[in-house]
Amino acid sequence: MPDMTSKTDVQGDSSTPRQQALHISNLAFRWDQTQPPLSYPDITLNAGEHLFLRGPSGSGKSTLLSLLGGLIVPDAGTLTLLGTELAGLTSGQRDRFRADHMGVIFQQFNLVPYLTTLDNVMLPCRLSRKRRAQALPTPAKEAESLLTELGIPESHWHRRVTGLSVGQQQRVAAARALTGAPELILADEPTSALDSDNRDRFIELLLGLAAEKRSSVVFVSHDQGLAKRFDHQIALETIQ
């Protein structure tokens, strides 16, 4: 049964006047009543800072992302995002909150297969008015410039995403997460399907663009080699 303890605490200085992107304390969750709960270390992350979240399989990394995304609610503890206590929101409000403030990148299969590359990138702008307003100058223009920066050839923009390579798909997913400048980007092992060249390039582009959009990135991975690029790192561990 997985149980987590904090190995390294977040080094961020919570006394700075910057807005907190994320604050969790005493957080616990269980998928199943017959199992002991997953519990998490307290984390505070300031706006614009990036967090590396490491841990073996089953340590609850993805569950933490689901909690942060508001898709599931914690059994105990508090979870505050951008000054908003998620537990105080209804599930509909949490969906709204996620659409307005968060970008998400999965491990793989990130794209809606029947939409074009551009439509996939602009999907958050169609689900959130706020993101649409923040996509400057227009959602389409912003998507195009993101795709250019992420190195997706223009010939793919208006085609369905099924023709893209895995590396390209992950970069399109990054463009989608970044569009409309969300405050928080949740990335669930986005580089695990990539080779090392692609991986380094991906991280570089993601963090570079996130800095441009002033977005905080919560990056989950078990690849310790990536940790040095982040402001903070936390390891979740399974205690046998």
Which residues contribute to the site for other proteins (CB under 8 A)? Answer: 31-32, 62-63, 65-66, 68-69, 71-72, 91-92, 95-96, 98-100, 102, 104, 106-107, 109-115, 119, 123-124, 126-129, 160, 176, 186, 188
H-state helical runs in the chain? 61-69, 91-101, 117-127, 129-134, 139-149, 166-178, 196-213
Q: Which residue has the tokens 């509909």?
A: 92
Q: Between 97 and 202, whose beta carbon lies closer to other proteins?
A: 97
Give me the least distance between CB of 171 and other proteins, in Å please: 15
Q: Between 12 and 68, whose beta carbon lies closer to other proteins?
A: 68
Amino acid at 142: E
Give me the least distance between CB of 16 and other proteins, in Å please: 29
Q: Between 6 and 107, whose beta carbon lies closer to other proteins?
A: 107
Distance (Å, whole) CA 54 – CA 157 = 34
Give me the least distance between CB of 100 and other proteins, in Å please: 7
- Bridging pattern class, strands 232-235 and 51-54: parallel
Q: Between 12 and 220, whose beta carbon lies closer to other proteins?
A: 220
Run of H or E including 236: none
Give me the least distance between CB of 137 and other proteins, in Å please: 20
Q: Answer whether 173's CB lies under 8 Å from 154's CB.
A: no
Q: Between 12 and 131, whose beta carbon lies closer to other proteins?
A: 131
CA quadruple 182, 61, 95, 46: dihedral sign: negative
Distance (Å, whole) CA 130 – CA 101 = 8
Give me the least distance between CB of 103 and other proteins, in Å please: 8
